[in-house]
Amino acid sequence: MKTFDVIIVGAGPAGSTTAMYINPKESGKRVLLLESRKRVGIPMQCGEALPTYDELTNIFPGVDCPELFDLPDEVIAGRIEGILFIAPSGRRYLAELKGHMFYREKLDQWLFNQAVEKGAQYRLSTRVLRVEDHRVVTANGDFYGDIIIGADGPLSIVADSVTGFAPNRDICRCSFVIAEGDFFEEYIELRFDNRFPGGYFWLFPKNGEANIGVGVRGSKNVREILDGMLTELAKHKSFKIKQRGGGVVPLGGLKAKLASDHVALVGDAAGMVFPSNGGGTGVAMVGGQVLGETIGCDLPLSVYQSRVETLMKRVLDSSLRTRKSMDRTRRSDWLFCVVMWLANLRGWRSFIIG
């Protein structure tokens, strides 16, 4: 059969979490996850850092899903005690912010398996071409859904296909490597200067590995910038590159329209990303929980829009204002050094999340 109550395009954290909380076995809904990749979570596209649940609830008061962040040991790569910010001058500032490094492919697969165990059906290697009303057109045939969910990332086909949903226009391009070496630090590192316009260099240690990458906005060659940073890093640290990857991150903030009568967006497709720093995995999971519970309880999708706005909009709008302010001051390394010095006086939380 190719007719379903809910079709979810994308089996990343947002899509799989949505399916989990619809809970097909209990709600009785026929749910289909469509995923373009042969294997969920591969290739990985992420910095792989996640705030603790306590930190997340401090950021978003009202979040109530501790079971979702009770992740198995094999998903967690290490504990984060804080963030080390490095200014253009080289001055270092330490912000205490608790979190975890995690293995993104294992997280995606764990969430996906939870969704399948709760009764979701799935089709892998199925690329969605467009959505036409209730019809989802794929390279492997058509499927029909009473409700269609776009959990298909920053360049969402669902959002692009349905009238009224805006695309993600403010995009940051990223390139990263997974490296093996002496990476056992308890702090993640973010470096800001003019080599990374609109973005930054990151080094996230993972218990003997590290996720090392660069994000930039504009036309610069992001992989070339990263290779230069890796050459610089190799002068004082021995490591071996085991994997390369890349992708894009939406930095335009939460979209104004998240739902229509039978279509909704969640995760990156909905702009559920902190514009000031690009973090979005935890936000996507929370968005999936809200959407899944809304559908599972047979509530209209307008309830999902309202709940997300209440839970997330103020924080993500503030983060967007912070990012725009950072954009203006980053035209001068000297001026941005002053901004970072002031952020250290006021407290880093506002700099991180807005």
Q: Where are the alpha helices (DSSP H) in the chain?
A: 13-22, 24-27, 53-59, 104-117, 157-161, 222-233, 281-296, 301-308, 314-329, 333-346, 348-353
pLDDT digits (tens, 9 = 90+) for 133-170: 999 999 999 999 999 999 999 999 999 999 999 898 89
In this predicted structure, the answer to whether residue 195 has a pLDDT above a threshold of 70 is yes
* Average confidence (pLDDT) over 185-213: 92
Task: For the chain, report the end-to-end CA distance as a whole number of angstroms.
Answer: 47
Confidence of residue 1 (pLDDT cuts 50, 70, 90): low
Q: Check the CA dihedral 8-175-234-229 and report its sign.
A: negative
pTM of the model: 0.94
CA distances from 54 to 137, 173, 348 (A): 41, 30, 17
Query: How do the domains of the chain map onto residue ranges?
Result: 3-76+103-170+251-324
Residues whose CB is less than 8 angstroms from the CB of residue 188 and which lie 6 or more positions away in sequence, other chains included: 49, 80, 82, 83, 84, 99, 101, 202, 203, 204, 205
Task: Tell me the pLDDT tens digit for each residue of 254-285.
Answer: 999 999 999 999 999 999 999 988 999 999 99
Position 169 scores a pLDDT of 86
What are the tokens at 158?
A: 């669902």
Dmax (CA) of the chain: 62
Neighbours of 338 (CB within 10 A): 12
Mean pLDDT over residues 338-353, rounded?
A: 78
- Calpha distance 159→44 (Å, rounded): 22
Measured between alpha carbons, how far is 177 from 223 in angstroms, rounded to an integer? 10
Domain 3-76+103-170+251-324 superfamily per CATH: FAD/NAD(P)-binding domain (3.50.50.60)
Q: If you average pLDDT over residues 186-204, what whole number do you get?
A: 92
Q: Per residue in 20-58, pLDDT tens?
A: 999 999 999 999 999 999 999 998 888 899 999 999 999
Contact 19/8 with Cβ under 8 angstroms?
yes
Question: Between residues 352 and 218, which one has the greater pLDDT?
Answer: 218
Confidence at residue 95, expressed as pLDDT on a 0 to 100 scale: 87
Pick the closest to residue 315 from 291, 339, 269, 280 (CA basis).
Answer: 280
* Dihedral sign for Cα atoms in the order 91, 102, 267, 135: positive
**Degrees to nearest 5, angle at CA 195 with 197 and 187:** 90
Instruction: Kindly give, in sequence order, each residue whose CB lies less than 8 Å from that of residue 347, ignoring residues fewer than 6 positions away.
Output: none
**Amino acid letter for position 254:** L
* Residue 142: how many other CB atoms lie within 10 Å: 11
Residue 329 buriedness (CB in 10 A; 0-12 / 13-18 / 19+): middle
| SS3 at position 232 | helix
Instruction: Identify the pLDDT of residue 353.
Output: 66
Q: Looking at the predicted structure, is the pLDDT value of residue 191 above 90?
A: yes
φ, ψ for residue 39 (rounded to 5)?
-135, 130
Provide CB contacts within 8 A for 118, sequence distance 6+: 19, 20, 22, 23, 24, 25, 26
